A and B are shown apart, each in its own frame.
Chain A
Amino acid sequence: MQLWLIPVFPLAGFLLNGLFGRRFSKAIINGIAIGSVLLSFAWVLKTLLGLGELNIPHAEHYFTWIQSGTFSVGFDFAVDRLTAVMLLVVTGIGSLIHIYAIGYMAHEEGYYRFFAYMNLFMFFMLTLVLGANYLVLFVGWEGVGLCSYLLIGFYFTKKIATDAGNKAFIVNRIGDFGFSLAMFLIVVNFGSLDFTTVFQAVPGKSEAALTAIAFLLLLGACGKSAQLPLYVWLPDAMAGPTPVSALIHAATMVTAGVYMVARSSAIYTHAPAAMEAVAIIGLLTAFFAATIGLLQNDIKKVFAYSTVSQLGYMFLGAGVGAFSAGIYHLVTHAFFKALLFLGAGSLIHALGGEQDVRNMGGLRSKIPWTFATMVCAGVAIAGVPPFAGFYSKDAILLAADRHAPWMYWVGVITAGMTAFYVFRAIFLAFFGRYRGEAHPHESPWVMLGPLVVLAALSLAGGKLFNVPEFLSPLFPLAEEGHDIGPMLVSVAFGLGGIALAYLFYVARPGLPDALAASFSGLYKLIYNKYFVDEIYAAVVVDPVVSGSREVLWKGMDVAVIDGAVNGVGNRSQRLGGLLKRLQSGSIRSYAVWVLLGSVLLLLAMGVAGGLR
């Protein structure tokens, strides 16, 4: 089936554009970049159609990467139903975003570099998804982290962007540390990193070992998927171009954590404590991020916190045992979150770079297509039936309810908040009077086209792609029993959120400021993102930096190491300076030195007994 072609097409695109892009015209760069991703998508379709039912995974082994005693790791790709879902999402949404980026990045410096990095990202993401063992997955994992860093810092002349890139990479590293430790434990306990080998051997292992592995994997997932406490990089990552935010920080890279947890479901189901932790972390993150999203004024930051929150939902789904629901939400979220970001990009492009919603308003007549598509995304994310978000969110909330009712209620409130903040952004941007200075104009069709496609998917995708059913051989479906009660409650919360947003921002515009004034303490706390970044800086970053500077640099490096090396040099010089006085040029003193030497020699011989 030549699975390797799927990631290699974008890799070839990266190499061509990266090495020679400087000399290519825009048309050629576009052709290579878009073409490679489209080819990859086409190959995915061909492969999946050719593989048929996919009840057993189709694996391909390419070469033995590590061979050490009895431990060996091969570079293997495998496709099963879960992989198929991820492949379609990554290549499909990826293609759309690449096409969109032609229009968005048309006037930017470093055009070829952008597409080269995007193609490289696709390569790594596809490797991650196709990997048949933890090590190949990790290769992709690290690679997407690298591309994220490169793309966030794409506008490298702006310090905000480079700082954000650094933050993303470093925080991800913390997660990767956990992932690496988990891999070591897996090797120790199972003797292999291969998925099929490990998952078949899980039932026989001690729960303590499995729990440890699961917690460490969770740490890795928290880093990559921006969950508490490692979510801080995602809002800052909005410093990158909007297509990057859409592709990497909404649809694909951040979902790698969810994918990894779903893939390791065998381990998690046998480590209940860890699974509970997954659910709680997911739920808390969802709630926490939603509260912050309520008050942000930068439209991209609103959607960034929304992404963190929705990822929390996916983790919640995985944590309560509904892995397929989590993946379902991953798919639908890819549709509407990518759409929201691309729409925001179109909005920003229309206003010539404005990102603050307080300077927008009344744009629905001026950029109607953008408005329409964003509303589609909004109703989808709010969970309004029969659109995409409803099905996936409902599946998660129902599973949560069955697991622990308090989780359901927190989830439902969060859903209400989700609806509220998304529509807050929409109402502030498109309704009322225009408060800004620019000349809004509609985006070109190369940008609107993907928006329309994504809007259609957001509306119809939930019903069309019944992911849990597709994944049922892997993740057995829970008992059906349609609980109407909880479903109605969640829909009500969603609609209520929309209505509240309408009230605050269209009907009575003065209301938000009045409320902010009366709850000013709480308002300040939430508006400043609970001061999490400041707390991290004070507790973690500053001690490490000053420790490095004072102890390791000045103390060790300068004083000890340089001191030793320079000290050797200095001593030698001084010794040399001393010895050079021997060369006085006076023969008589030379003779005296010789005499001295011979006397000492005689003494030594006498003492040593040679002259007995």
Chain B
Amino acid sequence: MTAGVPLSWYLILSAVLFTLGVAGFVFRRNIITVFMSIELMLNAVNLSFITFSYQLKQVNGHIFSFFVMVVAAAEAAVGLAIILTVFKNRSTLNIDDVSSMKN
């Protein structure tokens, strides 16, 4: 029998991708790049769900992933529309400039 991949490897991969997503969120200044980091995080979580679904031999994890994808799509649409509006109003894509909620 061929050796399988230990389950923990998938989970660690998921954690690494998630961390990369957070790093992108924290360190990048361009709004769109930040948004893409969010999508990266969501993908990492999807991987986790499917891994657990395999472990428990159920389809529920897949369903959850499915919903995550749907919501990510909706969120991407609306979020990008917002970014467009922000760009129209402030002519900048720098996230540090969108700080009128300060204090």
Contact = CB atoms under 8 A, between A and B. Distances in A.
A and B touch in the complex (CB under 8 A): yes
Interface of A: 580-581, 583-588, 591-592, 595
B26 A586 contact: no
Contacts of A584: 99, 102-103
B1 interface: no
B8 interface: no
A586 B99 contact: yes
Q: Which 8 A-B pairs have the closest CB atoms?
A: A585-B102, A585-B99, A585-B101, A591-B25, A591-B26, A586-B99, A588-B26, A583-B103
Interface in B58-103: 95-96, 98-103
Nearest to B28: A588
Interface string B36-65: 000000000000000000000000000000
Contact of A586 (B22, B25, B34, B96): B96
A580 B26 contact: no
26 contacts: A580-B103, A581-B103, A583-B101, A583-B102, A583-B103, A584-B99, A584-B102, A584-B103, A585-B99, A585-B100, A585-B101, A585-B102, A586-B95, A586-B96, A586-B102, A587-B95, A587-B98, A588-B25, A588-B26, A588-B95, A588-B96, A591-B22, A591-B25, A591-B26, A592-B26, A595-B26
B103 A585 contact: yes
A410 B100 CA distance: 96
Contacts of A592: 26
Given A581-B103, A585-B103, A587-B98, 7 more contacts: A583-B101, A583-B103, A584-B102, A585-B102, A588-B26, A588-B27, A591-B22
Contacts of B95: 586-588
Contacts of A591: 22, 25-26
A10 to B, nearest CB: 70
A581 B102 CA distance: 9
Contacts of A585: 99-103
A585 to B, nearest CB: 3
A586 B34 CA distance: 13
B102 to A, nearest CB: 3
Interface in B10-24: 22
Nearest to A583: B103
Nearest to B101: A585
Contacts of B100: 585
A583 B100 CA distance: 10
Contacts of B101: 583, 585
A497 B96 CA distance: 106
Nearest to B100: A585
A51 B25 CA distance: 104
Contacts of A580: 103
Chain B's interface size range is 10 to 19
Contacts of B25: 588, 591
A584 B98 CA distance: 11
Nearest to B102: A585
Most buried by A among B26, B27, B98: B26
Nearest to A587: B95
A170 B99 CA distance: 67
Contacts of A588: 25-27, 95-96
Nearest to B95: A587
Contacts of B26: 588, 591-592, 595
Contacts of A583: 101-103
A578 to B, nearest CB: 12
Most buried by B among A580, A581, A587, A591: A587
Contacts of B27: 588
A591 B25 CA distance: 8
A583 to B, nearest CB: 6
A236 to B, nearest CB: 64
Nearest to B99: A585
B60 to A, nearest CB: 22
A175 B103 CA distance: 64
Nearest to B27: A588
A20 to B, nearest CB: 63
A273 B27 CA distance: 96
Nearest to B37: A591
A60 B22 CA distance: 92
Contacts of B96: 586, 588
Nearest to A592: B26
A588 B38 CA distance: 13
B75 to A, nearest CB: 16
Nearest to A580: B103
Nearest to B22: A595
A592 B26 CA distance: 7
A591 B41 CA distance: 13
A48 B103 CA distance: 86
A583 B103 CA distance: 5
A587 B103 CA distance: 13
A401 to B, nearest CB: 94
A470 B84 CA distance: 112
Contacts of B34: 587
A595 B22 CA distance: 8
Nearest to B31: A587
Contacts of B98: 587
B1 to A, nearest CB: 31
A592 to B, nearest CB: 6
Contacts of A595: 22, 26
B89 to A, nearest CB: 16
Contacts of A587: 34, 95, 98
A580 B98 CA distance: 18
B13 to A, nearest CB: 18
A584 B100 CA distance: 9
Contacts of B99: 584-586
A529 B72 CA distance: 99
Contacts of A586: 95-96, 99, 102
Contacts of B103: 580-581, 583-585
A586 B98 CA distance: 8
Nearest to B96: A586
A581 B22 CA distance: 23
Nearest to B25: A591
A271 B49 CA distance: 97
B8 to A, nearest CB: 13
B87 to A, nearest CB: 16
B29 to A, nearest CB: 8
A592 B23 CA distance: 10
A210 B40 CA distance: 95
